[in-house]
Each structure stands twice: as C-alpha cells, then as structure tokens.
Structure 1
C-alpha cells in the first residue's frame, strides 16, 4: 500500500510538471490557426524577421510589418545589437503599443525570428510570441499572403532598460573553456562545423580563420529541436533531447553558433519552453574563432588555407 501511494504521488508530480511545462510553452508560442483568427485584431502586431529579407515583398502574412534583421536588430556602425533608443523608435513606427501582443515569424524555421525574440527579451518587451513553424508552416497550409506593405499609426511603447544577463560575451565563454565557470556550453551548429571539418556552412560569408569548437562544448544541432513541419517538438521530447546530452537545467547554459541566429532558436527552446537559465553568445564562432589567445578544440585538424 505504501509503495502504491508513493507511485501515485510520483505520477501526480510528473503530471503537474508536464502540465506546467506545457503552459509555459503556450505562453510563448502561437499556432497558425491562432494567427489567422487574429489577423484583424488591433492589439496584435505581426512582425516578419526572415533570413531572406526580400521574401516580405513577395508575400507576407496580411497585416505584418517587415523588420530586416541587418538594419532593425543591429547597430549598423559597430558589431552590436540595436540600441534601446533605435529599437523603441522602430517599434513605435510599427504601431506597437504598451499592451500590444507581438508575434514574430520568419523563414528558415524561424532562425532570425527567434533571434528577434531574444532581442525583444533583452529589452524586456512583454507579450512577445513566436509563430510555431513560421513561414514554412503558414505557406504549407496555403494560408493567405499579401504583397501589400502594412503601415500603422505611431505606437506608444516605452522601453526602460536592457537585461544583459541574457547575453554572453567572449570573457564568459572563455571562462567556461578554461574551467573557471561552471556553466555548460551548447554548440548548436552542424557536426561538421563542430568537429572542424568545415569553417562554416556552404555559401556563407561570415567566416573564422580557425575551425572547431569551444573546449567543453557539447554539440546539439538546432535542427534536432524541430519537427518536419518546422514546429518545435513537444516539451517532453525537448527535455529528453537535452537531458541525454547532460543539459538538464541544473547549471547555467550558454548557447552559440556562428553569428548568433541559430543559437537563438535553441535559446528559445531552452529558455522559453523549458524554463532553463540560458544566455545567448551572439558573438559566437565568428568572434571566438577569430580571437587571439583563446583555446579551441579541432577534432578534424582542418587548417585555414590548408588542403
């Protein structure tokens, strides 16, 4: 009898945990059905953030505004994220008010949309959600697209300060590499990038002069977190995926990729859907792999300019 009661308690705790995690996920994700039902909701603002910024002109979710990632989310003079003042100005121009619910979406399984979500979080903007599946799922379901740009009356949103605790810098990851910090590093790039076989995915411009990964980092490619339709896998599956690599939320986590956008996708899964303590290292491999005096692990032994 005592064992049966204990088993029931364990099952009840598991159910409570699963329910709370599901609720957490629903706080930050919306479905394509939800978006279509809210296309005319004045308190909802859709923002497209695609890798290919020209997709917006060809057709976008009706009512959405376009935030080109290379102008609206970055400082165009120095390598940094957009300033609070410029970001606030862009949001007001998009008609975002203090009580607006913001839904981000984009191509490539929401890579840059997730990066946008990270920046929104850095500037502590409330009510920000990601369209689960992004453009891929929206288009696959033959939902409406419009070529007409959307304009709105100026919004009144006010940003007060940034939360830089969500951002890792080079000294932070170097401390982990040198075993001076107990955080865990998650490299979300492809196995070939992680092992040093290639410097970057084919066809990209941002390169590092060294190949490999940050010492002690574990490799969990971002793509393992998504289903075939581009949506995030269920919370229970995500939890198991990362736990199998030793990432269970008991230690602080730093995620990185090449320039910070793919790692934002994993940051979203770990931070928003699982509730773990996670920082995004947006300098990523293009900073770390080009830095002088830092250790690397290069399993393939590839050398810049070598055969």
Structure 2
C-alpha cells in the first residue's frame, strides 16, 4: 500500500488544525486509551477506551459487530469517515484499534506516526474540551476473519507455517512472561510457542516512535517468508497488532494475521507446546511429534 495513505505525520495534522481547508472534513482523529486519558486531547478528537469500549465485558473478547456499529454511531463516525488513530504506550493501542476497525471492514484507516508521545514532543495542541458529534447510523459490518488468528491457528501453525513472536527478548527466552516493568502473571507459563521466530515489535520504529522508511523495513523484515501464512503474537495483542500493521499494511505481505488471544491465552493452555531459550525449537531441537507433521516451513533447530 501507499505509505502516505497509511501514515499521517504530526506535522501534517498540526497544519490541518491550523488551516482546516487543507484537511478533509471526512477525517476524524480517534485516540485509543486504556483506563487513562488525562492530560488533554487533540482538538476535535474522539476518545475510545480499549477495555471499556472495544472489549466485551462478559466474554473477554472483542465487542461484536453490532456493538461496534453502535459504538461508532454514538460517536458520529460513519462508514465513509477516514479514521486517524493515535495513542500513548508506543502507539500500541492505536495499532490495535486500527486492526480491530480493519477486522470490521472499515475502509479508510490511518495511524498518526509517532503517536501521542511525538505529538506532545512537537508541542502539538491539546484541549480539555470534548467535541460534540451528532450520532449517526453505522451499518453492522461483516467480519474479515482473514486478519485474525485464533488459538487453533496458533496450534496449526506450529511446524507448518510461520509464527512470529514480537515480544521482548526476555519474554521470548522464557525469563519473564510480561514486558519490563509489568508484574509477572503467575497463571501463565514463560517461554515461546514451539517453532516461533523472534522479531521484536520495535524493530520497525525509530527512537522517536516513528516508523522506519520502507527500505529500512524491508531490510529489517527480509527473513519473513511470503510464501506461507504468518501469525503474529505478543502478550495481549497490542504489540502484535503494531507488527501486523508493518507487515500487512506498510510492506503489503500476504496472509498475515494477528493472534489477539495472545500469550495470556496460549501461555495458559493445557498441552500447548512451549519452549525456553533462544532457539525456535528449544534446546533439544525438533520434537519427533512435530517432525512427523511434515512441516511446510523448513525445520531448523
């Protein structure tokens, strides 16, 4: 895809706020938060909370298509709006929001390159005013399951297709099951899914949180195969959504899916094959039960 159609720079958005005639009235800025949201917002932007708005409170899953349509309708977002996402937390929540909107078929989506951190670093305006947006009717969408992986897909990909673990090295090695600074989850095993390769999410970004250019990204992800399906995972689905955006949207790789059940689900499954250490197949090489499956990905210890 055209990078300019996927990323909006903070400078571009600032110019549109200063001179509204340079923007598109069909564009709406959506900030994804998760239990926070203090400190002001970009003028005119909509705020959605990842847990309160985008997650089902009963099923521990994404909200369904009907709830999604009702949510967007309440906030005055139509199917024709171009949605520009941003968030704190390394733009992880923004990428997860982009991915969820893509799952539900919203066509025109963008990320604010660098997210809230870069916006603030550049002195972008913030306000405490909540915009008044007239409610609309948003059509109940069809679900595009081609961008989502389930636990069955994770298990099926082991030894057959391509699994990419985008967590920190400490998590991949099995020394921790949470990112630095996050308390350990005692109900979840440490390690990585058998056969999963490690390409951390931050491979894609510069120190200021903006994405590397296309040539740099292509070089950084040159080892990712394009002739087999790919499933990405992290701990809760945010970092993997960020890497999904890079591979599927910026680089245009085919058949890339985000496993949003993530390590919090897979790491607690009875019978899930999980190994520790730097090798995808663990310290003992390829288990016989996997070798017998005739993997489509060339096996290597």
Q: Does TM, normalized by the shorter one, top 0.5?
A: yes
What is the CA-CA distance between 1:34 and the residue it aligns to? Answer: 2.1
1:123 aligns with 2:104: yes
Q: For residue 96 of structure 1, what is the aligned residue in structure 2?
A: 77
Q: For residue 262 of structure 1, what is the aligned residue in structure 2?
A: 239
Which segment is superposed worse, 227-236 or 25-34? 25-34
Write out aligned runs for 1:2-17 (5 A). Answer: none
1:54 aligns with 2:32: no
- Please give the alpha-carbon distance, in whole angstroms, between the structure 2 residues aligned to 1:156 and 1:213: 43
Q: For residue 295 of structure 2, what is the aligned residue in structure 1?
A: none
What is the CA-CA distance between 1:274 and the residue it aligns to? Answer: 0.5
What is the CA-CA distance between 1:251 and the residue it aligns to? Answer: 2.0
SS in 2 for 1:105: strand
152 and 188 in structure 1: CA distance in 2 versus 1, 3 angstrom threshold:
same
Q: Please, what is the CA RMSD of the aligned residues?
A: 1.8
The answer to whether the Cα contact below 8 Å between 2:176 and 2:184 also exists between their aligned partners in 1 is: no
Deviations 1:146-192 (A, max 9, x none): 11122200133323310112111111111122x2x3x2111000000
Which of 165, 172, 178 in structure 1 is aligned with 2:146?
A: 165
Aligned length: 272
Q: For residue 20 of structure 1, what is the aligned residue in structure 2?
A: none
Where does structure 1 lack aligned partners over 5 or more consecutive residues? 1-22, 302-307
SS in 2 for 1:67: strand
- Please give the alpha-carbon distance, in whole angstroms, between the structure 2 residues aligned to 1:283 and 1:49: 19
The answer to whether the Cα contact below 8 Å between 2:177 and 2:184 also exists between their aligned partners in 1 is: no
The answer to whether the Cα contact below 8 Å between 1:24 and 1:274 also exists between their aligned partners in 2 is: no
203 and 135 in structure 1: CA distance in 2 versus 1, 3 angstrom threshold:
same
TM-score (norm 1): 0.84
235 and 66 in structure 1: CA distance in 2 versus 1, 3 angstrom threshold:
same
1:229 aligns with 2:211: no
229 and 192 in structure 1: CA distance in 2 versus 1, 3 angstrom threshold:
same
Q: For residue 43 of structure 1, what is the aligned residue in structure 2?
A: 26
What is the CA-CA distance between 1:50 and the residue it aligns to? Answer: 2.8
Q: For residue 262 of structure 2, what is the aligned residue in structure 1?
A: 284
SS in 2 for 1:38: helix
SS in 2 for 1:49: strand
186 and 73 in structure 1: CA distance in 2 versus 1, 3 angstrom threshold:
same
- Please give the alpha-carbon distance, in whole angstroms, between the structure 1 residues aligned to 2:45 and 2:173: 40
- Please give the alpha-carbon distance, in whole angstroms, between the structure 1 residues aligned to 2:88 and 2:102: 20
Q: For residue 294 of structure 1, what is the aligned residue in structure 2?
A: 272
Write out aligned runs for 1:234-253 (5 A). Answer: 234-243=213-222, 246-253=223-230
SS in 1 for 2:133: coil
The answer to whether the Cα contact below 8 Å between 1:125 and 1:159 also exists between their aligned partners in 2 is: no
